[in-house]
Structure 1
Amino acid sequence: MDITSLRPKKRSPLRLYFGKKFYITKRYAQWIISRKQYAKKKQMAFLPHSYFTHKTMLLRELKDVDMKLQYNKIINLKIAVSTLNQIVLEPGETFSYWRTIGKPTYKKGYVDGMVLYAGSYRTGVGGGLCQLSNLIYWMTLHTPLTVVERHRHSYDVFPDSNRTQPFGSGATCSYNYLDLQIKNETDATFQLCLEVTNSHLKGEWRGASPSLIRYEVFEKAHQIMPAYFGGYIRHNQIYRKKFNKRGVLLEEEYITENHALMMYEPLLSSSEKMQ
């Protein structure tokens, strides 16, 4: 594992500003000239078969983070969910997270939420939408759909708290150059269904044909090691098992590898982590 790329690099504000502008412009150009068929259509009637459902809590107490940002996140999630809910992914089409949602702006009703940045956080319009991209990515790993673009988190900012998924099983997002794209390479139609309840963000992938495969996502080679430049590096690999309807293992498939610079002391006790 090469951890050199994880060492924090100091860049001037000017370079950061123009660098971001460059990648945003590059993405716009890709959308224009790309021959991809992007998913656009919605269908109000649910497709008949459920492939996978998942939900995550909306409110989570984080050390030194104002809870107002958590409540603002819920506002942002509701706007984004209204845009994505019940979008249909036909065979050959690609779902683009940002192309579908569009740029979060105050004019659209988005508010300032928490945005992870360089190992810490700051406020920004539309903050908190990574919870939605994380959910969609995790659900997609339990379907035959193909993830064609996903970006991992470079920093592990907050300690685990009642974690139910493997480390690194999410997808970070930043408009518009850090996108989540999913292609339907099957011959069946799929539908993304989303909902924000009083307590949870809920999601489901549904399909026109019944699921013949069950997926089990897990991690291997999870380790925490000291970095030569200080601090700790967290690493793992994500795999999934495929089972048929009778529960027979058909295949074990490598998905991705994660490396992140930890921004907290990994050997803290559980009580210390929650303070």
Structure 2
Amino acid sequence: MLQANRLVRWSATPERWPRPLLAPTHEKGVLLGSHTVNLERSDSDADPVLEAGKQHNVRLAAPAFDGLLLAPDRPLSFWRTLGRLTERKGYRHGLALSGGCLTPSIGGGICLLANALFEFGARQGWHILERWGHTMEAVPPPPGALWGMDATVAWPYVDLVMAPREGAVRLGARVSDGKLRLSIHGAEAPRTRSRLWSEDESLLELAEGTLRINRVVRRVEDTSSGAVLEERTIAENRRRLLNPEARKRTCLTCGETACHARVEVPRSEVRAP
């Protein structure tokens, strides 16, 4: 029902979810910003099969976003741009959060791309029209880092939708040397700057585990006058923390066979390097 509702809304309100359109290749313009993310996790808890699937999925998905024309009246919709992730399109099993567990899923790990796009757009001062945070924490944030700059996605109704603030831009997205590289080009230098910080950070102990809570606040200022154009919360986060043992347990290692979320990974992927 949720999927059908969102697909109908795509057709009924195309101004919110426009079809992807490529920018003219000869109009690259001024580099407004760039963002680089490592594909490989820095911790040792990742399952090597699902980690390899994640990296494959991000490499396969990134070209769909490369060269996109975006504007205040032409937002970026993650799913409208990428489409459904299927085996027929070449996607593999990667790590996903489902039913409170770490499970293999076709297209799993694609949230790395959504996370990077959200953080990049948020730091550029883009309008955040739709964003959903993860409800579990599989990888703890680095000490001192601004956490909660992530975006979970689920076809097609849990989406990431953002729009540039100042004018038309060309989005760049590519994978090289084990890194996802994002860039934005526009017609002229930016007229605004953004600052982000965390508020109301806390740990809440509940029966189901510990929750990490915060709000990410953003202030957008005019670069010439310093006037504050906007100050608002752009992300509210409540994540259940997984203990070290749970972060390593997936359907590939768990002995539970009756679990509703259990997924079998084909031998061809298990043997993949």
% same residue: 23
Counterpart among 193, 203, 218 of residue 240 in structure 1 = 218
Contact map agreement 2:133 2:235 (CA 8 A) in 1 = no
- What's 1:171 paired with? 151
**What letter corresponds to residue 30 of structure 2 in structure 1?**
H
* Structure 1 residue 144 displacement after superposition: 3.7
Write out aligned runs for 1:248-267 (5 A). 248=226, 250=228, 252-264=231-243
- What's 1:51 paired with? 32
Q: Are positions 1:151 and 2:129 aligned together?
A: no
SS of equivalent residue, structure 2 residue 63:
helix
Contact map agreement 2:212 2:239 (CA 8 A) in 1 = yes
**What letter corresponds to residue 77 of structure 2 in structure 1?**
S
Counterpart among 167, 178, 182 of residue 162 in structure 2 = 182
RMSD of equivalent CA atoms: 2.3
Counterpart among 191, 196, 201 of residue 222 in structure 1 = 201
TM-score normalised by L of structure 2: 0.80
TM-score normalised by L of structure 1: 0.79
SS of equivalent residue, structure 1 residue 110:
coil
Counterpart among 58, 62, 66 of residue 77 in structure 1 = 58
* Structure 1 residue 225 displacement after superposition: 2.2
**What letter corresponds to residue 241 of structure 1 in structure 2?**
R
Q: Deviations over 1:100-159 (max 9, x none)?
A: 101111111111111122333111111111000000100111224211111111122332
* Structure 1 residue 35 displacement after superposition: 3.9
Task: Give the aligned length.
Answer: 241
* Structure 1 residue 39 displacement after superposition: 4.8
Q: Are positions 1:192 and 2:137 aligned together?
A: no
Q: Distance in 2 between matches of 1:215 and 1:90?
A: 18
- What's 1:127 paired with? 108
SS of equivalent residue, structure 1 residue 65:
coil
- Unmatched tracts of structure 2, length 5 or more: 245-273
Contact map agreement 2:115 2:149 (CA 8 A) in 1 = yes
Question: Residues 45 and 106 of structure 1: is their aligned pair in 2 closer, same or farther, counting only changes over 3 Å?
Answer: farther
Q: Distance in 2 between matches of 1:54 and 1:27?
A: 30
- What's 1:42 paired with? 22
SS of equivalent residue, structure 1 residue 41:
coil
* Structure 1 residue 195 displacement after superposition: 1.4
